[in-house]
Amino acid sequence: MTASSQALRATDIATTSVDGATLTKTPEFEELLAIIAERQREFEELRHIPRDVIALMKKARIFRSATPTRFGGDALAPHHFLRMIDAIATVDGSAAWVAAFGSANTYTAALSVEAQEIMYRDGPDQVFAGGLHPVQEAVRVGGGWRVSGQWKFASGCMGADWIGVGIAGRREGESADAPPVVMMAVAPAEEVEIIETWDVSGMQGTGSHDTRVRDKFYSDAWICERGAPGIFDDLLYRYPAMAYQAEVHAACNLGLARAAIDQAISVSGAAKIMVGHSRLCDRGYFLTGIGECEAKLRSARAFFYEAAEAAWDSLLKGNTVSVVENTMLRLSASNAARTGAEIVQHCYRIAGMGVISKDNPMQRYLRDAMVVTQHAAVADLTFESAGRVLAGLDAPRGYP
């Protein structure tokens, strides 16, 4: 951290003094970006981000961003953290996706004090990965739950310190007719089996494998309702958790879109193989396309960060995030994901024949950006649900 940053207490960082630009200019963060740029191919070959790179992310304060200040964390305002993910994605989408789960400690902040004291006893830089779907039925036993099952999409699990799984069950005394409560069960990563199932075309380096446990006991201290607010007073844990998860995924596509524009521009002045053909930078459709992509990206980014800052400002004033503000968080995230992917596709189309090479970075931008749009948190259904709220209709169940 810079000297000015080191002088700030975590609570200051969480509320006022440090902006996203400062956080992405520290020596630790710049070192992280340089290493990621050097090792992109390795990430895809391994199908995960290796632990030494995860350690650099920890040094850059990514995995303490959502740690309670009680345990030395930053409990960082989301719009500051999102700028970190945005910046990483300009270098590599998979690394940004894994770093985005620095926000996931908002989930574990709902665990008991006893559990969190154990989680953070070695420091605030703890990596949590959660494959919470499909939710598995758990059996209530004395003081906890007996759990067996297999879960998908545990992004970052290969570098995680803690792994959560999604369970459902009825508490003692509840009627058999009562709907089961959906919960999250957390354990040290070494107690959860990782099944290497991640074989995909995009976001190859995220290591989003399956996880499995067999007849494992989780005490009540390590169980919380999924999406429950954190038990401490940091403002971050009053920020809408589902919206935050949508935002961290969408931020990846903002970074990928920036990378695609820059890549297209970088080859626009190159000489053409075929004699007599003009350079890309001399073609009207290319110049128009670059201008349109730049305008779309800046517009999507402005809406995205404006919505995040407005929700945080409400919390700073002692208010809750309203349904409309929450809807703007969800809508701006889905818009950023979709627009980012459209920009990458447009840049691919206008950047010439060179983009068909497997080694061309535009290939990776294209594949990674399309994965982001498939995530349920930023899916097209968000636009319809947002429209209902804006039209004064009842919000769909579970939204926003």
Name which of 257-261, 266-270, 316-320 the model is least confident about. Answer: 266-270
Q: Which two tokens stand for residue 318?
A: 């002692």
Averaged pLDDT for residues 70-94: 97
Residue 23 has pLDDT above 90, yes or no: no
State how far the Cα of 81 lies from the Cα of 323, in Å rounded to an integer: 22
Q: Is residue 304 part of a domain?
A: yes
Nearest CA to 120 out of 80, 162, 77 is that of 162
In this prediction, residue 348 has a pLDDT band, given cuts at 50, 70 and 90, of very high
140 and 102 together in one domain:
no
178 and 216 together in one domain:
yes
CATH code at position 42 = 1.10.540.10
Interacting residues of 43 by C-beta distance below 8 A, sequence separation 6+: 49, 50, 53, 92, 94, 95, 204, 205
266 and 385 together in one domain:
yes
Strand-pairing partners, residue 259, are: none
The single-letter code of the amino acid at 307 is A
Ramachandran bin of 222, using left for φ above 0, alpha for ψ from -120 to 50, beta for the remaining angles? alpha
Contact between 337 and 379 under an 8 Å Cβ cutoff? The reply is no
Q: Which two tokens stand for residue 248?
A: 């961290």
In this prediction, residue 12 has a pLDDT band, given cuts at 50, 70 and 90, of very low
Looking at residue 19, its pLDDT comes to: 55
CA atoms within 13 A of residue 120's CA, in its CB half-sphere: 21
Residue 273 has pLDDT above 70, yes or no: no
Looking at residue 20, its pLDDT comes to: 56
Averaged pLDDT for residues 365-372: 98
Averaged pLDDT for residues 208-236: 96
In this prediction, residue 21 has a pLDDT band, given cuts at 50, 70 and 90, of low
Averaged pLDDT for residues 102-118: 97
Q: Is residue 113 part of a domain?
A: no
Looking at residue 248, its pLDDT comes to: 98
Averaged pLDDT for residues 129-135: 93
Place of tokens 């919505």: 307
Nearest CA to 247 out of 211, 300, 295 is that of 300
Percent of the chain with pLDDT over 90: 84
CATH code at position 297 = 1.20.140.10
Burial class (CB in 10 A: 0-12, 13-18, 19+), 40: middle
Name which of 6-15, 39-48, 79-88, 188-197 the model is least confident about. Answer: 6-15
Looking at residue 271, its pLDDT comes to: 62
Strand-pairing partners, residue 187, are: 163
The model's pLDDT over 148-186, given as tens digits with 9 standing for 90+, comes to: 999 999 999 999 999 999 999 987 767 677 788 999 999
**Mean pLDDT, rounded, of the chain:** 92
Sign of the Cα pseudo-torsion (150, 151, 153, 157, in order):
negative
In this prediction, residue 45 has a pLDDT band, given cuts at 50, 70 and 90, of very high
Please state whether beta strands 181-188 and 128-137 pair in parallel, antiparallel, or not at all (unpaired). Answer: unpaired
Strand-pairing partners, residue 49, are: none
Task: Give the largest CA-CA distance in the chain.
Answer: 81
Q: How far is CA 234 from CA 68, 105, 237, 329, in A?
A: 7, 13, 6, 20
381 and 247 together in one domain:
yes
Strand-pairing partners, residue 166, are: 184
In this prediction, residue 17 has a pLDDT band, given cuts at 50, 70 and 90, of very low
Looking at residue 275, its pLDDT comes to: 63
167 and 86 together in one domain:
no
Q: Which two tokens stand for residue 68?
A: 């309670």
Q: How far is CA 169 from CA 223, 233, 360, in A?
A: 11, 28, 49
CATH code at position 160 = 2.40.110.10
253 and 291 together in one domain:
yes
Q: Which two tokens stand for residue 291?
A: 């201008």
Strand-pairing partners, residue 133, are: 152
288 and 357 together in one domain:
yes
Please state whether beta strands 144-154 and 209-219 pair in parallel, antiparallel, or not at all (unpaired). Answer: antiparallel
Strand-pairing partners, residue 307, are: none
In this prediction, residue 226 has a pLDDT band, given cuts at 50, 70 and 90, of confident
Contact between 174 and 183 under an 8 Å Cβ cutoff? The reply is no
Looking at residue 325, its pLDDT comes to: 98
Looking at residue 173, its pLDDT comes to: 66
Q: Is residue 300 part of a domain?
A: yes
165 and 247 together in one domain:
no
Residue 4 has pLDDT above 90, yes or no: no
In this prediction, residue 397 has a pLDDT band, given cuts at 50, 70 and 90, of confident
Looking at residue 227, its pLDDT comes to: 83
Q: Is residue 230 part of a domain?
A: no
29 and 155 together in one domain:
no
SS (H, E, C) the chain: CCHHHHCCCHHHHHHCCCCHHHHCCCHHHHHHHHHHHHCHHHHHHHCCCCHHHHHHHHHCCHHHCCCCHHHCCCCCCHHHHHHHHHHHHCCCHHHHHHHHHHHHHHHHCCCCHHHHHHHCCCCCCCCEEEEEEEEEECEEECCEEEEEEEEEEECCHHHCCEEEEEEEECCCCCCCCCCCEEEEEEEEHHHCEEECCCCCCCCHHHCCEEEEEEEEEEEHHHEEECCCCCCCCCHHHHCCHHHHHHHHHHHHHHHHHHHHHHHHHHCCCCCCCCCCCCCHHHCHHHHHHHHHHHHHHHHHHHHHHHHHHHHHHHHHCCCCCCHHHHHHHHHHHHHHHHHHHHHHHHHHHHCCHHHHCCCCHHHHHHHHHHHHHHCHHHCCHHHHHHHHHHCCCCCCCCCC
Nearest CA to 105 out of 76, 127, 135 is that of 127
Looking at residue 277, its pLDDT comes to: 78
91 and 209 together in one domain:
no
170 and 250 together in one domain:
no
Domain that holds residue 14: 6-108
Name which of 213-217, 222-226, 276-280 the model is least confident about. Answer: 276-280
| Structural domains in the chain (count) | 3
The model's pLDDT over 291-334, given as tens digits with 9 standing for 90+, comes to: 999 999 999 999 999 999 999 999 999 999 999 999 999 999 99
